[in-house]
Amino acid sequence: MESSLAQQRGSVQRQAKTAGASMLPWTPPTASAPMERSSVMFQPQCDPIAQPELSDMIDSASSKNGVDPSLVREVARQESGFRPCVVSPAGAEGLMQLMPATQDQFKVADPFNPVSSLEAGTKLLKQLLDRYHGDLSLALSAYNAGAGTVDKAGGIPQIPETQKYVSNILSRLEQ
Identified catalytic residue from 2, 36, 74, 79: 79
| Residue 79 is among the residues annotated as catalytic for this protein | yes
Q: Residue 6, SS3?
A: helix
What phi, psi does 27 have (nearest 5°)? -120, 125
DSSP 154: T
Q: Strands 42-43, 36-37: parallel, antiparallel or unpaired by DSSP?
A: antiparallel
d(Cα 137, Cα 82) in Å, to the nearest integer? 22
End-to-end CA distance of the chain: 40
d(Cα 121, Cα 33) in Å, to the nearest integer? 30
Taking alpha carbons only, the member of 173, 175, 166, 171 closest to residue 79 is 166
Q: Which residues are catalytic?
A: 79
